[in-house]
Amino acid sequence: MTNVIELHHPLAKHHLAILRSVQTTPTLFRNQVRLLSMLLAVRATEDLTLSTIEVQTPLAITRGGRLAQKIAIVPILRAGLGLVEPVLELLPSAEVWHLGMYRDETTAQPVEYYSKLPATDPAHVGFVLDPMLATGGSIRAAVSALKKWGVRDVRILSVIAAPEGIEAITSEHPDVTIYVGAIDQELNEHKFIVPGLGDAGDRIFNTSR
């Protein structure tokens, strides 16, 4: 699938192995999410548009590049918050808008409880952040919200994904590119990614019981 880009960098595989381990502490888990998010963001921003500017160095005037597009970072609450800071470090002028969704455990469908996307002046490029693409329900809803806002270039950043979620996204939104650290085996009967890494939100915020 040309619109699904999986990281094959050795560093991505190294940090993902640490992330998956049940022995990884919340502090280390957050750090691994941060590192993988940066690797994903570097890959996902390779073709952003630049404008040419002049820069005065200590020795001469030279030409440089400056990002020319309006960019929006859109984390899906709450787990998506773990990806915001590293992406924002690379894109400090980006806007950050939040979408709150949770999965109904009975129907496995997304339920929206918070949205702060504006009605006008859409970004040129929108990055949807969610560490796990499982069924794809929440991310599909987020992509639809961005398109309704008027964003024409929507990109998804996820640490891991299930084939079922990828199929759901690409079927409904074939123009959207998915950047993922690893494509896992499957969803189990409870719609959890296998082998997965557990509940990313609980592990990021140390709320598992």
Q: Domain-by-domain residue ranges, the chain?
A: 4-49+68-205
Query: Smallest Cα–Cα separation from 117: which of 86, 87, 92, 151?
Result: 151
Of 34, 43, 78, 202, catalytic: 202
Of 34, 43, 78, 103, catalytic: 103
Using a 10 angstrom Cβ sphere, with 0-12 exposed, 13-18 middle and 19 or more buried, the burial of residue 44 is buried
Per-residue confidence band for 107, with pLDDT thresholds at 50, 70 and 90? low
Q: What is the DSSP letter of 31?
A: H
Is the pLDDT score of 14 beyond 90?
A: yes
For residues 23-34, average pLDDT = 94
CATH 3.40.50.2020, applies to 4-49+68-205:
yes
For residues 167-196, average pLDDT = 93
Which of 32-41, 105-114, 191-200 is the least confident region?
105-114
pTM score of the predicted model = 0.91
The pLDDT assigned to 24 comes to 94
For residues 165-178, average pLDDT = 95
Does 199 participate in catalysis according to the annotation?
yes
Query: Smallest Cα–Cα separation from 113: which of 124, 99, 133, 129?
Result: 99
Does 175 participate in catalysis according to the annotation?
no
Is the pLDDT score of 209 beyond 70?
A: no
* DSSP 3-state of 89: helix
For residues 65-79, average pLDDT = 93
- The rounded distance, in Å, linking the Cα atoms of 44 and 156 is 9
Does 103 participate in catalysis according to the annotation?
yes
Is the pLDDT score of 205 beyond 80?
A: yes
Mean pLDDT over all residues of the chain?
91
pLDDT in tens, 111-170: 777 787 888 999 999 999 999 999 988 999 999 999 999 999 999 999 999 999 999 999
Per-residue confidence band for 1, with pLDDT thresholds at 50, 70 and 90? low
- The rounded distance, in Å, linking the Cα atoms of 161 and 150 is 26
State what percent of residues in the chain have pLDDT above 70.
95
Contact by Cβ (8 Å): 166, 183:
yes
Does 203 participate in catalysis according to the annotation?
no
Of 2, 107, 121, 209, catalytic: 107
Contact by Cβ (8 Å): 88, 77:
no
Is the pLDDT score of 59 beyond 60?
A: yes
